[in-house]
Structure 1
Amino acid sequence: MTPEQAATAFDWDVDRPHLLPVTVTAEHLDRFGHTNNVMYLHWLEQVAWSHSVSLGLDFEAYERLGAGCVARRHELDYLAPTFANDRLWLATWVHENDFRLSMWRRYQIVREADGKTVLRGATQWVCVDMKSGRPRRMPPEFRAYAPWPVRSR
Structure 2
Amino acid sequence: MSWDLPTPFTLPILVGADDIDELGHANNAVYVRWLERCAWQHSQSLGLGLAEYRELDRAMAVLRHEIDYLASAYEGDELEMATWIFSWDRKLRMTRHFQLVRKSDGATLLRARTTFVCIELSTGRPKRMPEAFIEGYRVGMTEAPEGF
* TM-score > 0.5, shorter chain as reference: yes
Structure 1 contact 15–151 (Cα < 8 Å) conserved: no
Q: Distance in 1 between matches of 2:48 and 2:31?
A: 23
Q: Distance in 1 between matches of 2:53 and 2:25?
A: 36
- CA drift of 1:151 comes to 4.6
- CA drift of 1:13 comes to 1.1
Q: Distance in 2 between matches of 1:151 and 1:24?
A: 32
Deviations 1:70-96 (A, max 9, x none): 101001000011111100001111110
| RMSD, aligned α-carbons | 1.2
Question: Aligned residues, how many?
Answer: 144
**Stretches of structure 1 lacking an aligned partner (at least 5 in a row):** 1-9
- Say whether 1:141 aligns with 2:132: yes
Q: Normalising by structure 1, report the TM-score.
A: 0.90
- CA drift of 1:46 comes to 0.4
Which residue, 60, 65, 69 being the options, matches 1:69?
60
Q: Distance in 1 between matches of 2:55 and 2:97?
A: 26
- CA drift of 1:61 comes to 0.1
Q: Distance in 2 between matches of 1:151 and 1:27?
A: 37
Which residue, 8, 15, 19 being the options, matches 1:17?
8
Secondary structure in 2 aligned to 1:68? strand
Deviations 1:106-144 (A, max 9, x none): 110000000111000011100011111110110111122
Equivalent position amino acid for 1:30 in 2: D
Structure 1 contact 13–151 (Cα < 8 Å) conserved: no
